[in-house]
Structure 1
Amino acid sequence: MNGAQDVLDLELPWTIRPASPASPRRRAVVIALCAGAALVAAAGAGLAYGDRAATALGLSGNAGPAVRLSMDDVRNVEQMTVDDKSQILVEGAEAETRNAAIPVSGLPLEKAASLVIPMTDGPAYTTALRCLTQAVYYEAATEPLEGRRAVAQVVLNRVRHPAYPNSVCGVVYEGSQRSTGCQFSFTCDGSLLRRPMPGPWRAAEAVAKAALGGAVDQGVGTATNYHADYVLPRWAFTLAKIEQVGRHIFYRFNGSWGRRAMFDARYSGSEHIPQIDYAALRQRLFASAGGMEEDKQLVPGLTVTPKVTDRHAENDVGGRLDVTKQWRLSIPDPVNASSQYRSAIAQDAAPAEQAKPDTRLAGIRQPAPAIPGAASGEGQVVQQ
């Protein structure tokens, strides 16, 4: 794996077997058996596996050539993550150096087929847009525009490839229910606990809308994988390197799996965001922040150990922060807070200015006040 020839000669660690010709009767029997096997597998391993196997076998109604895709093939693809630390060879500066040494593949760069999800699809479009926007934002918010478009293209390429789920949210959240091994790290590393910044979120949403409207990023072609240049996963040597955009390096499958003809899986038309376990995300985020001890089991509504000095009933949690809920820390904008503070000070100072006496005539001698009765001579003392 140290030389250019070693990298280019590596193939996928599994075999793709084209379907052999068969008589109509035999084909019907094979399809029936395969469909039954897919249903049994789905019952034991989840519907995602069964759906993807059926798609690869041509049972989804596609007109493209059928390809036999075993459950082992799907699992091998799922292991290509950077979230699973056992897949990482090196990190940091050494990873950057070794990544740069991997040559760009000489395989053809084919333009991926577009995937259009009409806005008229209602909930399906709205949910797909949210999932794709999340992927672009959390994976590439600080990347150049080309990098954000490339990430969106990888998501949609996977939707069209039989080795992956056939929905946008299914691709984005694949593996998020496991403790490790999610395909897109932000779905399981605690990033979802951060509130998105409005500006970058709108920029990511614009990229997602264009991609769902049929825009295709030709720079990465049929790429299905990428990773940051500061990590080097094992699977980087089993794929064909396309190019680096920003901090991300993009890859396609070797052989027929990476050709445009393979990307013909039918879009499911159904989108669903799985339930997020925010407590598990917090635990993982704390652990990755420096080996912090796991939180003790929290009693809902009472997350601070009671003290004898607490002067309230046991069921009164006033003044306590319940972190067992899906709370978000919101820090006010310092600019707005400062302007509001100055405005409040100015309003408080206004009445004081109005009540202050006018001292401009303080140096002028004022006439003595008149004595009652002076005009009529009453009360006057005449000196003899």
Structure 2
Amino acid sequence: MRNMSEGEMITTSEGNLEVPKNPVIHYIEGDGIGIDISPVMIEVVNSAVDTAYGGNREIRWVEVLAGQKAFDLTGEWLPEETKNAMKQGLISIKGPLTTPVGGGIRSLNVALRQQLDLFACVRPVRWYEGTPSPVRDPGAVDMVIFRENSEDVYAGIEWEEGSNDVRKVIDFLKNEMGVDKIRFPDTSGIGIKPVSREGTERIVRAAIKYCIDNDKQSVTLVHKGNIMKFTEGGFRDWGYELAKKEFGATELDGGPWCTFKNPNTGTTITVKDVIADAMLQQVLTRPREYEVIATMNLNGDYISDALAAQVGGIGIAPGANINYDTGVAIFEATHGTAPKYTGQDKVNPGSLILSAEMMLRHIGWDEAADLIVRGMEGAISAGTVTYDFERLMEDATLLSCSEFGNAIVSHMA
């Protein structure tokens, strides 16, 4: 009998994950508070898996290096060995990473997404009872944002003001393309915003499939196509076309909204669109009208963090970056490294723990994921929380980072 602790690799077959009882999961500890939250996350996940499956399943955790720790040990911020391990192992989880000083990689998080083509940033946002919130009805928020990860202004195609390259770009735009709308051409930096049909189709497809699999009733395309007609407007149009072409959607009352029947449940699913600035209002005023959101990179960044604020902040907001075609996925804390709190065992590990809950659900270990949700709800409802929540709650008990992890485990039973 094979020793379960050795671990086996997760594989794919016909587009589906094949998960052994002892899967290898690669993890990046993370910079700053990563040293505090990652061990707590691992303890919580191990407890949930052991409780759910009575010792018949076990995760084999294998650390890989990125960020400051990688640079200190190898001289590289993002070693090839790390990327190869994450690609081969398919499923990984990471703490927050610092931004390297100097040239080269602008953002390690963006570099991982781009180099592994993790085109879908998936951010579920919901409220846990007892969590302090600045809005009157945070429980009305229950959405999943599918943010396109590989295109838009985040592609990093830009040129610095005053450089020879930016002069070439501006001269080309003026002389070859007849562009006369650059107000101050001599002092402008220039960026390019690529948005493609293929990129749009794969993020909208992922959002609609999620809607079907989880029996949701709507997918909302969020864009600024009223202003940027060929990029964000293209996103809107291509999204509707995809819904019609691949899911049999038909126009509602003359369009552009369209509907189709969930093939699993028969429920009607509506595909609709909202202008981005209006969406930022409506997630506050009418949050119950939205369930699954598909949007581009910049809009998705704004909307997911704004929604997180409504339910308690990014300290408890999970996230994942996924390629649904290759099966490669990285689950991650959505907050930063918070270096001033490093090693103090103080911060809220909730974001990384709930990202691990997403990971467990993604590999089909729903029973363990459910235990983490139960533990999180129990700990917060009991008022046993870390400092960021304790200062906003009445009669709460202040816990350290590791103590909060223990509280989650104690409420799993």
TM-score (norm 2): 0.19
Which structure is higher in RCO with an 8 Å CA cutoff and minimum separation 6?
A: 2
Which structure shows the higher strand fraction? 2
TM-score (norm 1): 0.20
